[in-house]
């Protein structure tokens, strides 16, 4: 039986990719428990399985073997429609390249997950504003297009979009990879603040200064979590970049 404090559990996750007769294992048996309100970083060399793992626990892809349990729900028992509903309500995504829609305004980009839920317009307005504030964004951005903002500003809009549904878990894949150090610091401060409000945050990163802002650092190599490291807050980018 899953403990009440466990928000996410991965059980013997395996992922195989087949090209012709050649099979490559992206994950080779990952077991993971994440407690509610944790801030976890996942590190590892290129090709180690970091993004594959994030896609599995974010229900963006299905494992070849194993299972994922999110807030007590066993994903393998769900239909595709039920998976999409669970993903939309429980998980917010932040990507390295922001994934904002250039033809939409900032307001419309943040609003998209609420439209997908069929939420009424007056409720959407309040939730979009609250999400952008939580992401340390400026309300003057709402009428602008993404290309009118800096990279760091666009990433905060992307975080607001991830937050707008009030998801239980925020997943971020190299969220500072395309940013300068000052912008990266601002984005990490936003994640820390969000985590202090009780949301679980899982960040994939190659940057030790980013990983050191979390509560736990997991090291993955060759598709397996090989060890766990204790972060050093003094070496967090929030403290190292002036």
Taking only the tens place, the pLDDT of each residue in 15-32 is 999 888 899 999 999 999
Residues 6+ apart with CB under 8 A from 117: 88, 89, 165
**Percentage of the chain lying above the pLDDT 70 cut:** 99
Which one, of 173, 181, 176, lies nearest residue 156 by Cα?
176
The predicted pLDDT at position 242 comes to 80
Please tell me whether residue 195 adopts helix, strand or coil conformation: helix
Mean pLDDT of the chain: 93
26 falls within a domain? no
Q: Could you give the number of structural domains in the chain?
A: 1
Query: Taking the CA atoms of the chain, what radius of gyration do you get in angstroms?
Result: 18
19 falls within a domain? no
Tell me the mean pLDDT in the region 53-81: 93
Are the C-beta atoms of 187 and 159 separated by less than 8 Å?
Answer: yes
The predicted pLDDT at position 2 comes to 59
7 falls within a domain? no
159 falls within a domain? yes
Tens of pLDDT along 64-74? 999 999 999 99
111 falls within a domain? yes
pLDDT exceeds cutoff 90 at 58? yes
pTM of this prediction exceeds 0.85: yes
The predicted pLDDT at position 116 comes to 82
Q: How many CB atoms lie within 10 A of CB 83?
A: 18
138 falls within a domain? yes
66 falls within a domain? no
211 falls within a domain? yes
CA–CA dist 43, 49 (Å, integer): 10
Structural domain of residue 190, as residue ranges? 38-48+79-217+224-240
pLDDT exceeds cutoff 60 at 1? no
- CATH number for position 182: 3.40.50.300
């Amino acid at each position: 039986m899953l403990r009440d404090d466990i928000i996410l559990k991965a059980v013997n996750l395996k992922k195989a990719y087949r090209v012709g007769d050649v099979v490559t294992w992206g994950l080779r048996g990952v077991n993971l428990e994440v407690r509610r309100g944790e801030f976890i970083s996942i590190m590892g060399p290129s090709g180690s399985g970091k993004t594959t793992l994030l896609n599995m626990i974010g229900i963006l892809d299905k494992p070849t073997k194993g299972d994922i349990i999110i807030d007590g729900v066993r994903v393998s028992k769900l239909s595709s429609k039920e998976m999409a509903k669970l993903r939309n309500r429980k998980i917010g995504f932040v990507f390295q390249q922001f994934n904002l829609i250039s033809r939409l305004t900032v307001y419309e980009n943040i609003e998209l997950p609420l439209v997908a839920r069929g939420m009424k317009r007056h409720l959407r307005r309040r939730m979009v504003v609250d999400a952008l504030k939580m992401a340390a964004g400026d309300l003057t951005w709402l009428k602008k297009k993404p290309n009118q903002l800096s990279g760091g500003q666009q990433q905060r809009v992307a975080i607001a979009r991830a937050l707008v549904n009030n998801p239980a878990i925020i997943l971020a894949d190299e969220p500072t990879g395309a940013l300068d150090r000052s912008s990266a610091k601002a984005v990490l401060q936003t994640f820390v603040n969000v985590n202090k409000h009780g949301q679980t945050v899982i960040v994939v990163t190659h940057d030790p200064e980013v990983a050191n802002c979390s509560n736990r650092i997991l090291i993955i190599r060759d598709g397996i979590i090989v060890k766990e490291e204790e972060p050093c807050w003094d070496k967090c980018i929030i403290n190292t970049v002036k």
